[in-house]
Structure 1
Amino acid sequence: MRLTRLALLLPLAVLPLPASAADDDTELLQAVHAFLHEEASELGDELIIELNLPSARLPACESPQPFLARPGNVPLGRVSVGVRCGKDGRQVRYLQAEIGAVGEYPVLNTSLAAGETVRREHLAMQSGNLADLPNRALLDAEEIVGQVATRPIDPEQPLQAHQFRSLPLVERNQRVVVEARGEAFRVTREGQALEPGSLGDRIRVRFTNREVVTAEVAGDGVLVVDF
């Protein structure tokens, strides 16, 4: 069962409110807390949510409808939460929140040299507050396996995207196989890659009749184009 925290780790239904919260703030805070819990639930097994009430006393917020001031990403760290109040939602107020998540993230268990490829045995999982990790920290070990280190990396440190690059599966001017796929057919043709590419990259390929297509790198020397 997931737990959330506002001062202490307790089930959501009996979360304590800040000492400064008045009775008419209860519905607002519970709505915001439940909203943030739902938005951040994929981050870890244990969420840490702390809400900061505005210093000015405001009228009670009826029928609170929370929303993220900057939508699009799973909230982590310091976030601003907007709340529409009233049936028409015309009254809007904002609260500040701190969101943490206790979860696992990958680290190296050995030093890695620049240009060395990451293997599964190089990685171990470590537990901590994900909000304390640096920006663009990598959380999925599977995304790192097969990547190449761009610089020397020490063990037991959070790993970041800029420390790795994808291993090219296609080199410039390499002879490649392009698969054309449809609902009821699959055709392969040989061509020449006009640029290098890693898994998932879309690159240009030229055939012997000088036709040029853009295809997605699917494997070592293999690209696909869908029709």
Structure 2
Amino acid sequence: MTRTLPATILVSMALALALVAASLFAPQARAADQAMLESVRQFLEDQASSLGDEIEVTLHPPAAKFPACPSPRPFLPNDSQPLIGRVSVGVQCGEQGRRTRFLQAEVSVIGAYLETARDVAAGETITRDHLVIRHGNLARLPRQTLREAGQAIGRVAMRPLSEGQVLRGYQLRKPRLVQRGEAVTLEARGSGFRVTRPAEALAPGGRGDRIRVRLDNREILHARVVGERRLVVDN
């Protein structure tokens, strides 16, 4: 005669088996999660390596539990997002990449940036003596902070700047080589020929700027500033 075990014993046995299974597979799941997180950390460090001297990545994995992510392949969902501060990261899982996870990370970059070494008057041309190089967490700096002396030297301050001020791109402009209403020389180049004509600048401009000019016959063209009162018509 076959005896049936009481329901309470069956439930206890099922729970025991579940606990044994969880204890066997939990280390494997934790190892897989750790491998996925490490691949994301390495990916972000590599992507941000050119931004500064020291990179630190803090990961914020989702609270919810997900299946294991074999063969993780991290990517940036938004290529235009700056790799400084809070960053969103995607991870394709499996050989075919059929599952995708998303998590948040904080990227701290220690690097060089520019400050003013002394007060700068509006309209003053920036020289190396105006600049001092500092090092710090770039994520905490204002947008458009300049990081290399070459980005500032030779440009003109658009407003007064005080000593010790973080230097930003919009505070400077190119030196003007052409003024509005000024007589300029317009040059047209081609294969085997070069022609110059007098013209009038209809806007100010620095090197590389494209501005409108008016010829003697009242024709209006767009030309590129290449020197002091000199412009070129690009073909």
> Into which bin does the TM-score normalised by the smaller protein fall?
0.7 to 0.9
Count of paired positions: 207
- 2:157 is matched with 149
Question: Which of 128, 132, 139 is the matching residue for 1:120?
Answer: 128
Counterparts in 2 of 1:81-92, with a 5 A limit? 81-92=89-100
Three-state SS of the structure 2 residue aligned to 1:136 is coil
Q: 1:118 to 1:209 in 2, by over 3 A?
A: same
Does the Cα contact within 8 Å between 1:40 and 1:74 map onto a contact in 2?
A: no
- 2:111 is matched with 103
Residue 161 in structure 1 maps to residue 169 in structure 2: yes
Structure 1, residues 46-94: CA drift from partner, whole Å, max 9, x if none? 2111212111121111222222132125411111111122233232211
Matching residue's letter, 1:161: G
Residue 208 in structure 1 maps to residue 208 in structure 2: no
Structure 1, residues 128-181: CA drift from partner, whole Å, max 9, x if none? 121121122111221212222233222223212232233322111211122333
Counterparts in 2 of 1:175-214, with a 5 A limit? 175-182=183-190, 184-214=192-222
Matching residue's letter, 1:31: S
Greater helix proportion: 2
> Which deviates more from structure 2 when the two are superposed, residues 133-142 or residues 177-186?
177-186
Whole-Å separation in 1 of the counterparts to 2:40 and 2:192:
50
Whole-Å separation in 2 of the counterparts to 1:161 and 1:103:
17
* Identical amino acids, percent of aligned pairs: 48
Calculate the TM-score normalised by the size of structure 2. Answer: 0.79
Three-state SS of the structure 1 residue aligned to 2:120 is coil
> Which deviates more from structure 2 when the two are superposed, residues 109-118 or residues 180-189?
180-189
Give the structure with higher Rg (CA): 2
> Which deviates more from structure 2 when the two are superposed, residues 149-158 or residues 117-126?
149-158
Structure 1 residue 183: Cα displacement: 5.2
- 1:173 is matched with 181
Calculate the TM-score normalised by the size of structure 1. Answer: 0.82
Matching residue's letter, 1:162: Y
Does the Cα contact within 8 Å between 1:48 and 1:101 map onto a contact in 2?
A: yes
Matching residue's letter, 2:86: R
Question: Which of 33, 38, 44 is the matching residue for 2:41?
Answer: 33
Ranges of 4+ aligned residues in structure 1 off by more than 6 Å: none
Aligned-pair RMSD on alpha carbons?
Answer: 2.1
Whole-Å separation in 2 of the counterparts to 1:203 and 1:57:
58
Whole-Å separation in 1 of the counterparts to 2:159 and 2:201:
28
Matching residue's letter, 2:152: I
Matching residue's letter, 1:112: V
Does the Cα contact within 8 Å between 1:108 and 1:154 map onto a contact in 2?
A: yes
Q: List runs of 5+ in structure 1 lacking aligned partners.
A: 1-20
